[in-house]
Amino acid sequence: MKIAVLIKRVPDTELRFSIGGDGKSLDQAGLKYDMSDFDGYAAEVALRLKEAAGAGEVVVIGLGPDGVPEILRKALSMGADRAVHLTAAEVPVDGMSVATALAADLVGQGYDLILFGRQATDTGHGTVGAMTAARLGLPCVTAISQLNISGGTGTARRELEGATETVSFPLPAVLTIDEGIARARIPSLKGIMAAKKKPIETRPAQLGPVRLTVKSLELPPERSGGRIVGEGPDAVPELVRLLREEAKAL
Amino acid sequence: MSTAGSGSRFAGVDFYDFDSLLREEERAVRDTVRAWVDEHLMPIIGDCYIEGRFPRQLIPGMAELGFFGANLPEEYGCAGLNNVAYGLIMQELERGDSGIRSFASVQGALVMYPIHAFGSEAQKTYWLPRLAEGTEIGCFGLTEPDYGSNPSGMITTARETADGWLLNGVKMWITNGSQATVSIIWAKTGAVDDPSSIRGFIVPTSTKGFTGRDQKGKLSLRASDTSELHLQDVLVPKDAMLPAAGGIKSPLMCLTQARYGISWGAIGAAMACYDEAINYAGQRVMFDRPIAQTQIQQVRLADMLTEITKAQFLTLQLGRLKDAGTMTPQQVSLAKRNNVNMATECARESRRLLGANGILAEYHSMRHMANLESVYTYEGTHDMHSLILGQAVTGLSAF
């Protein structure tokens, strides 16, 4: 089985970060980059499928600036076989632009599965996987939490609000991976050394037109202090009133 | 400009864009160990420390990721990393706990290194892959009850007989001693006043006459085994001797390797304490403001940050010298002495900043503080390294 995993390089937002002077991007000073978490789960899913089959190829593909190969090499050190870097000065916020470039590179390559993370941990749009599938004319299952492949058919489970949906689909297909399916493995030191010798092809990304732009980026307002509305059961009516009228939570 | 992000995952300390001096694979190695420590060690280390228990269940995972003897060649089942990457492994492990770093240091620098440096091809081929896989656990028997800073004075002997080497003696303060399956024992093959007769032997701990007992009552390195080894008429085959080792210089070469790793490790412990201090200071409110907004705590934090940053650059250059093959033992002494002392100070200051909470095992600074007292003392005490440096610059030995 030949599997493509699309990997996005994202700022490590679990660390401290701040908004840049332009008011619509992150301040680059001191920013560290990493693989988007969901893409790490997708890489893990691909590696497990290959390991279970005892054969196959896992190709990791990333689109973006100079820092992308370092992130791709992380996936190679986890065990992926080779990588493709689609070069672009920046990753457009418009998912369709990115999907156009990815589809142009994926088409005709004979992939049985094309895996994405459910969404990127920076922008969180969750559109590129489905849009790429549409561009390729392939079936697409989003946000899957379990996967079985047998012959030319796959079954995937999706967690819905209060229910679980199981979907079957023919290969080739595009899947986007939710958390909970598999934790990304920690690359071994030997894996890191082996990754240095694995090939990374580089070619320019054929991005589509960019029609979305970010107007502003703001941090959530600081939480103001709590308020005590009373004590004991007597306070309940007032609390309910405030929740309904002031917080509009009810 | 506003700042967000919880900083809950350990992010290291990098005030001077130190990362830009590291190669990509060096950063990747560090990140692997950092992730492993976050995921597997941090959730349990407090309990292990309180219970005085080394977390043995972590050995297979450490081995699988390649933490043991990582700077030794791939042909013997090791990762073949450079010495900077090796140092970063030690930094990250000691960010977790000095005892866990000690375990890896002993396995790699004090057991695998001498077998690689002084062993026969047969010894290397047999032992190194097993030690890398963690199916054999090693310890290093040099120090004796009456010979710590002066190991040349050792009184353990190895006598050649028709059947092999007969070893007798007592070793003390031996990390991993009670759980090891194999030991490197240093003993005199000649007169006890002849340090040139010191040789190293690979001694399986299951050999008759060999006993390892935990030393009890430790208030430091509690998540690490520290043991006494008794060798009473321990007979090993002739080929148990490391053929290329000779004199006190050989074990001292091992110690140089281990001290190099400790220099990095101490930075990790200091970073852990600084990280804890800065997070706590930002959250702890006293007199209606976070204590981070008080001058006295800011001085503490500034001092820690400064010392950690200096140590990073000092130690990176040491690693580059080691990779170039020009590092001297005296340079290692300087780094070990400086960094461990620095880390000890950071741990103490962080613990103080944490106030009463600082004495709880739930926080890490006091554990590091207690551990670092051992690290200050072992692998050449702070004082001995002062004398080594004194000798290096004056040409006069004071010991």
Domain ranges of chain A: 2-204
Q: Is the pLDDT of residue B319 over 50?
A: yes
CB contact under 8 A, A193 and B9: no
CB contact under 8 A, B5 and A196: no
Q: Is the pLDDT of residue A117 over 80?
A: yes
Domains defined for chain B, CATH in brackets: 18-133 (1.10.540.10), 138-240 (2.40.110.10), 249-394 (1.20.140.10)
Q: Calculate how close chain A gets to B293, using CA atoms only, in Å.
A: 18
Q: Calculate how close chain A gets to B63, using CA atoms only, in Å.
A: 9
Q: With pLDDT > 90 as the criterion, what percentage of chain B qualifies?
A: 97
CB contact under 8 A, B28 and A219: no
> By the 8 A CB rule, do B231 and B168 touch?
yes
Confidence class for position A107, pLDDT limits 50, 70, 90? very high
Q: Which of B26, B94, B349, B379 is catalytic?
A: B379
Contacts of A196 in chain B (CB under 8 A): 25
pLDDT of residue B2: 35
pLDDT of residue B281: 98
B379 noted as active-site residue: yes
Contacts of A190 in chain B (CB under 8 A): 66, 74, 79
Size of interface A-B (CB pairs under 8 A): 74
Q: Which tokens hold the place of A118?
A: 């459910």
Nearest to B32 among A19, A189, A196 (CB): A189
> pLDDT for B259-296, tens place per residue?
999 999 999 999 999 999 999 999 999 999 999 999 99
Confidence class for position B7, pLDDT limits 50, 70, 90? very low
CB contact under 8 A, A193 and B74: yes
pLDDT of residue A32: 86
Can you give the pTM of this predicted structure? Answer: 0.91
pLDDT of residue A245: 86
> pLDDT for A157-203, tens place per residue?
999 989 999 999 999 999 999 998 989 999 999 999 999 999 999 99
B-interface mutation test, from A16, A85, A192, A218, most B Cβ less than 10 A away? A192
> By the 8 A CB rule, do B83 and B322 touch?
yes
Q: Is the pLDDT of residue A221 over 90?
A: no
- Kindly report each contact of residues B20-27 with a partner whose C-beta sits within 8 Å and lies 24 or more positions away, as own/partner: B21/B316, B22/B84, B22/B88, B22/B316, B23/B84, B24/A70, B24/A73, B25/A192, B25/A193, B25/A195, B25/A196, B25/B81, B25/B85, B26/B82, B26/B84, B26/B85, B26/B88
pLDDT of residue B3: 38
List beta partners, residue A165: A158
CB contact under 8 A, A193 and B39: no
The single residue listed with the structure tokens 């004194």 is B390
Chain A residues contacting B via beta carbons under 8 Å: 13-19, 21, 27, 30, 32, 70, 73-74, 77, 186-190, 192-193, 195-196, 219
Q: Calculate how close chain B gets to A84, using CA atoms only, in Å.
A: 18
Contacts of B28 in chain A (CB under 8 A): 73-74, 77, 187, 192, 195
Q: Is the pLDDT of residue A154 over 60?
A: yes
> By the 8 A CB rule, do A175 and A141 touch?
yes
> By the 8 A CB rule, do B2 and A219 touch?
yes
> pLDDT for B327-382, tens place per residue?
999 999 999 999 999 999 999 999 999 999 999 999 999 999 999 999 999 999 99
CB contact under 8 A, B11 and A32: yes
A-interface mutation test, from B31, B62, B285, most A Cβ less than 10 A away? B31
Supply the CATH classification number for the domain A2-204.
3.40.50.620
Question: What is the predicted ipTM?
Answer: 0.89
Q: Calculate how close chain B gets to A73, using CA atoms only, in Å.
A: 9
Alpha carbons within 13 A on the beta-carbon side of A150: 4
The torsion defined by the Cα of B33, B38, B39 and B44, in degrees rounded to 10, comes to 120
> pLDDT for A65-78, tens place per residue?
999 999 999 999 99
Q: Span B73-80, mean pLDDT?
A: 96
Residue B52 Rama label (left phi>0; alpha psi -120 to 50; beta) = left
- The helix (H) or strand (E) run that includes residue B166 is strand B164-175
CB contact under 8 A, A188 and B66: yes
Nearest to B79 among A14, A19, A193 (CB): A193
Mean pLDDT in chain A? 93
Nearest to B4 among A74, A193, A219 (CB): A219
Give burial (CB, 10 Å; 0-12/13-18/19+) of A108: exposed
Confidence class for position B8, pLDDT limits 50, 70, 90? low
Q: With pLDDT > 90 as the criterion, what percentage of chain A qualifies?
A: 78
Q: Which amino acid is at B144?
A: E
B267 vs B265: CA distance, rounded Å? 5
B293 vs B310: CA distance, rounded Å? 25
Three-state SS for B321? helix
Confidence class for position A16, pLDDT limits 50, 70, 90? confident
Q: Is the pLDDT of residue B1 over 70?
A: no
CB contact under 8 A, B7 and A187: no
Q: Which residue of A has its CA nearest to B73?
A: A190
Contacts of B80 in chain A (CB under 8 A): 193
- The helix (H) or strand (E) run that includes residue B215 is none
Q: Is the pLDDT of residue B4 over 70?
A: no
CB contact under 8 A, B6 and A14: yes
Q: Calculate how close chain B gets to A15, using CA atoms only, in Å.
A: 5
